[in-house]
Structure 1
């Protein structure tokens, strides 16, 4: 009996590690575009507004896929959605390196977003498949730290690969990682729960319209939408900002642009523990405080004349913004039952990815219109305030372990 329990314990952590690596590659594949676009705009003779369209084309399809991706995950199971998501996004990562015009690049990135759109909900469903209720928030926080490590890895790998191989070959090489990832999920990711009959699945399903009517779920979505604008605005434009406004070369930019991802990824590893230990049933204050500090240091980042101080402030901004990130992906595990977590996460992540569409595009037009980054950064600060208001409006609700019902505390 003891050996069986030990094997099950080790297996769930191995699966969490596999989901972590999958998310790492997911973010690597999408975020290298923020570095490559510095060279793409030169080859295709693009202005900042056109660059914003390229960066946003991925996010509109990615956002559109969040609710369908969550619904498909609850209906088909996490395994099928994870594997097909990896296959599709890897194919279109390779195709990105074959783009021949602005239009082709926009279409390819749009289809790439559809491929990646199923992974977030399926990954969170995977946690629910392998972990008991009490362990899911902490496991989710660990999983989501991969997003920031992926952001850090992207400029560190993209900068030298572009120098050595060119931006086109870089996309082809990193797209090939999907083959290895697909095999790993096919061999190792086999949740026992997904062997249940379709009759049981249908019996336990919750209509999507009931989820859409959940006000608290929408408050979390708005909180993460506003925080997501800050997240994706910085992730998309910081490489260009460092090279154009701060005068860095590509190798220096690759190093400095990676630092926020590294520091925030490390912070995320502790964030779930901190949330679980000190902020149980006070998650909204944790998120609101994080966004307040994030907004303050964002302002300090773009107003200081010192590059080292600007990089320090950027790192602090990103670390505290991750508080909202932790809450957005851990609190739903306390509020939603296992049978609906895929759809719920799809709704929440739809908000974040809609932000990913709006933010780079809006910032691109602001930069083109004003000729500087200041207005774009003020736009992000306003979104910090919106996120704070939405977070404070969330009521305390959680799942009863015994009845699997949502209760208001």
Structure 2
């Protein structure tokens, strides 16, 4: 049974926020590496004489590798703990980004995108598991939503900083920017080594966590029954839950919309609207800036009402008209373009943190890494397919004029599918029911 926290316990401020800040910073570093290729795609396309289909393939192959790696990373985080898995992730994606600066051919780019995808895939489930382990059940929605703002902080900062580096120090060249990405990678490794532990108990034993905070974290861990042996809580808890597959489908659409939109935004701004590298970097940062506010609002609503469904419906029903219209805005109508980009940033992000938090709230901590890895892995299939499909939907007319209207209609259709899926979602914690069923089965056998 969930134990309510006293007001005094709720006010305990401590090391869990240091852990949250560390995983937040590390994921922003992750996003700088991820966004570098996406930000410079129109210029990479020009330098390497790539077709829109090849651009889509370069963007999408990352997410195929990322999807495969997500599943493995969740199980590895449950087995070895988040810290070890995140070490491997940071070293791998930092090296892959550095080497991208030397890529000369389409094949080399594809190989490095696969390496980057596999490295970054081993970062999110361990991070989410760490947040789940360090925060009490009643605070996970806000904590995970704050953690997920790292996505949008990274999306907002990366285009501005990366294009400014290129324009200011490297004469509008994109290759040297990738070499500089080794610096934040090294900083991330040092932060993980110096300040991070997998569990509050480990940090308490090191003398860096107060007993009051340890009690707070353990006060309402939901239906995570520590008196039951770990082997009793196996993957069938979520694999036999129909809502798990609804969550997977929503995540498929969510990540497809997010990364389809993000992947093609810089090319859309340069090719269809004619912005230069600095203008593109500034405008491309606007949707993620509003997304930071949006994702926090969604997390607050989830914790207040303990339901994701209303948040999801607001998000996806808002996405449908916004995304449908944005691709048909005429060149030169900058005011309408920026308005719709801000609206799209709000609606695309509104449910982003909540869908991660629902997994943490519905399943036991002992399997939450595996569940998160599978859900996010399925979501990355959407992130893989959507940029790829978009590459075939881009229309290149006379005079090499690009039109993205079909691309954004496709994104809005994904939002419609997500809204319908959300109607079938059940959100209450499933742990007690499943554990009791296992006990009944065992008693019956005896």
**SS at structure 1 position matched to 2:102:** coil
**1:314-325 superposed matches below 5 A:** 314-325=341-352
Which of 252, 261, 265 is equivalent to 1:225?
252
**1:58-137 superposed matches below 5 A:** 58-137=62-141
Equivalent in the alignment of 1:343: 370
> Structure 1: any 5+ residue segments left out of the alignment?
none
Relative to structure 1, is the Cα distance of residues 127 and 50 closer, same or farther in structure 2, using a 3 angstrom cutoff?
same
Q: Contact 1:328–1:348 (CA<8 Å) still a contact in 2?
A: no
**1:201-350 superposed matches below 5 A:** 203-205=229-231, 206-277=233-304, 279-281=305-307, 283-305=308-330, 306-350=333-377
Q: Are 2:418 and 1:387 equivalent residues in the alignment?
A: yes
Once the two structures are TM-superposed, the CA of residue 212 in structure 1 deviates from its matched residue by 2.8
Equivalent in the alignment of 2:31: 27
| Cα offsets for 1:207-241 (capped at 9, x unmatched) | 33553332211101101211211111110001110
In structure 2, C-alpha distance between the alignment counterparts of 1:368 and 1:201, rounded to whole Å = 60
**TM-score, normalised via structure 1 length:** 0.91
**SS at structure 1 position matched to 2:429:** strand
Q: Contact 2:64–2:380 (CA<8 Å) still a contact in 1?
A: yes
Equivalent in the alignment of 1:363: 390
Q: Are 2:56 and 1:18 equivalent residues in the alignment?
A: no
Once the two structures are TM-superposed, the CA of residue 130 in structure 1 deviates from its matched residue by 1.2
> Structure 2: any 5+ residue segments left out of the alignment?
1-8, 204-225, 438-446
The Cα RMSD (Å) is 2.5
The structure with the greater share of residues assigned to helix is 1
Once the two structures are TM-superposed, the CA of residue 343 in structure 1 deviates from its matched residue by 0.8
In structure 2, C-alpha distance between the alignment counterparts of 1:29 and 1:249, rounded to whole Å = 22
Once the two structures are TM-superposed, the CA of residue 201 in structure 1 deviates from its matched residue by 12
In structure 1, C-alpha distance between the alignment counterparts of 2:236 and 2:112, rounded to whole Å = 32
How many pairs align? Answer: 397
In structure 2, C-alpha distance between the alignment counterparts of 1:386 and 1:6, rounded to whole Å = 38
In structure 2, C-alpha distance between the alignment counterparts of 1:143 and 1:193, rounded to whole Å = 18
**SS at structure 1 position matched to 2:104:** coil
Q: Contact 1:335–1:406 (CA<8 Å) still a contact in 2?
A: no
* Greater Cα radius of gyration, structure 1 or 2: 2
In structure 2, C-alpha distance between the alignment counterparts of 1:143 and 1:70, rounded to whole Å = 17
In structure 2, C-alpha distance between the alignment counterparts of 1:299 and 1:181, rounded to whole Å = 39
Once the two structures are TM-superposed, the CA of residue 271 in structure 1 deviates from its matched residue by 2.5
Q: Are 2:159 and 1:155 equivalent residues in the alignment?
A: yes
In structure 2, C-alpha distance between the alignment counterparts of 1:221 and 1:268, rounded to whole Å = 19
Q: Contact 2:234–2:367 (CA<8 Å) still a contact in 1?
A: no
In structure 1, C-alpha distance between the alignment counterparts of 2:123 and 2:48, rounded to whole Å = 31
In structure 1, C-alpha distance between the alignment counterparts of 2:366 and 2:20, rounded to whole Å = 19
